[in-house]
Amino acid sequence: MDGLPLWLTGLGAMMLASWLMVRLLTPSARAVARRRAELRRLASGLGLRYFGTADPAIVELLPSFSLLGEGYAREVANLVAEQRRPPRLLLFDYHTMRSHAQDGDTRPSEYDYSMLHLVAMAAVADGTEVTPMRLFRPDWFGGPVGVSDLYHLTFPGDPGFGSYYLFVGEPREGVRRMFTAPVREAVTNWLQSGPKPVVEIVPGWAITFIETVVTDKDVAKRASALLGYVAGIAKALGDAQPPQGQAPTPATNER
């Protein structure tokens, strides 16, 4: 026989293609270990503690925010936090599985895919009044896909801020009053290239998160920037509270 049968050659090609696809889509153990080591070094350099992969029950202990309600098979990994109890500054990887199935159907399917976010959280000063909300930067589609009730706000003397960012949260007057000049300055202080963070404010916490991948070689730089970013927002929220009883200026919807 001068060569392999055609069917055997085709089978070999299919097996090779499958192997390459798995290699491309599945993070290697080396990439996972590299990411873990980078975040461990970052924690040490910042005087924080690296806790590693957290017990799934920790998700129930985190303050409620939008990301925690999405997907299934939720996992917190590479947890970094302050030594104090309770910590007031945290960073972690948040992995979920998502489905393209119809709304309400969370059963696994062949269309499911994984999502990884890098999340940073900072506690705001005790007693700080906040209005729960989310803030998005526009993307190629004009706004985040699948997010409803988006609106713009106007800020006297700062028209560019309100016309650029997209908000979700009610009442809008409360959101606008919360975004004093120091808070707006803190929000715009993201200078990193790559994915842009979502900002979310919930009672007691400022939260930011970005989409990421296990193989991100700049994860330590991005994580450090995210920690500084959310800490700046939390500080601005606590430092720049408007005087009690100040009447809010009505916000306008400019969509």
SS3 188: coil
Answer yes or no: is 248 within a domain. Answer: no
β-pair partners for 91: 80, 120
What is the rounded distance in angstroms from the CA atom of residue 231 to the CA atom of residue 219? 18
SS3 138: coil
Answer yes or no: is 251 within a domain. Answer: no
For residue 105, count other CB atoms closer than 10 A to its CB.
9
- Annotate 52-121 with DSSP letters as a single string: ESPPTTHHHHSPP-GGGGSSEEEEEEEEEE-SSSS-SEEEEEEEEEE--SPTT--S--TT-EEEEEEEEE
Answer yes or no: is 8 within a domain. Answer: no
Query: pLDDT tens digits, residue range 34-81?
Result: 999 999 999 999 999 998 876 665 666 778 899 888 877 788 899 999
Query: pLDDT tens digits, residue range 72-111?
Result: 778 889 999 988 878 899 999 999 887 765 445 555 566 6
High-pLDDT (> 70) share of the chain, %? 74
Q: Residue 243 — very low, low, confident or very high, per pLDDT cuts 50/70/90?
A: very low
Longest dimension (CA), the chain: 92
Q: Cβ(234)–Cβ(210) under 8 Å?
A: no
What is the rounded distance in angstroms from the CA atom of residue 40 to the CA atom of residue 81? 11
Answer yes or no: is 109 within a domain. Answer: yes
What pLDDT does residue 12 have? 56
Answer yes or no: is 135 within a domain. Answer: yes
Answer yes or no: is 188 within a domain. Answer: yes
SS3 202: strand
What is the rounded distance in angstroms from the CA atom of residue 152 to the CA atom of residue 55? 39
Tally of structural domains, the chain: 1
What is the rounded distance in angstroms from the CA atom of residue 249 to the CA atom of residue 198? 25
Determine the structural domain holding residue 139 and report its residue range.
Answer: 31-239
Answer yes or no: is 149 within a domain. Answer: yes
Answer yes or no: is 142 within a domain. Answer: yes
Average pLDDT, the chain: 81
